[in-house]
Amino acid sequence: MTFGEKLHRLRRERGLSQEALAAELGVSRQAVSRWELGEVVPDTANVLAVSRIFGVSTDYLLLDECDREGQTPAAKSAERSLRERQAAVGQGFCARVLWLALISLFHQYRLDAAGGGEPPVPMWWLLAAELATAVWLGRLNWRYGAKEGGRFRDLVVPDLLAFTCAFGLPYGLEWVPGRWGILLGQLAAILLLVQSIKTLRLHYGLPWGKS
């Protein structure tokens, strides 16, 4: 769409006549008519004024390939940036959830083996998966600190405390009936990891709660 076609559409959507728009811009009705017909292109000052009146960007007005505001280079860049930030938070969330799940499975299978049962998968598989997940999480935390400008310890401290709770508490609470020791360790770890996720979301400019 040309500038003139966009101006005509915006003016009609706003319910403005050419005379009314011309009055707001401080130009003649004939000037607005010539812009819409594509006979001339307004100067920079008038393009900026049209942009302000209709609340659209100058890129949208001047780039013929942009049929809507969301197609402008700035809008596309902002959309990519948002997706990248959401992906960074999502990866951090998934790594931590997988980390806790593998620790829980380890304790479940350990207790089954102690009771004479056979774990569904070899224990070394779980330990290898846990190590791989820890490496993945470590790389994400390193990227957050080294490349994204965050404070490394803001993630590492709650992550290590969470690991200590999830892995260590079930050993210290084996006297608790059933598998409550595992559950309590997981709950304590989740409370700590919520802080890590909050730190990530706020760092990447994503909302948290009502803020």
Tell me the pLDDT tens digit for each residue of 99-131: 999 999 888 888 877 777 777 777 788 889 989
Domain positions in the chain: 3-71, 78-203
Q: Specify the pTM.
A: 0.60
Give 23-51 pLDDT, tens digit per residue: 988 888 899 899 888 888 888 888 888 88
Q: Is the pLDDT of residue 21 over 80?
A: yes
> Could you tell me which residues come within 8 angstroms of residue 177 by beta carbon, excluding any fewer than 6 positions away?
none
159, burial (CB in 10 Å: exposed 0-12, middle 13-18, buried 19+): buried
- Radius of gyration of the chain measured on its C-alpha atoms: 29
Q: Locate 100 and state its tokens.
A: 């806790």
Chain center to CA of 33: 44
Can you tell me which residue has the tokens 């709950």? Answer: 187
Q: Name the fold adopted by 3-71.
A: 434 Repressor (Amino-terminal Domain) (1.10.260)
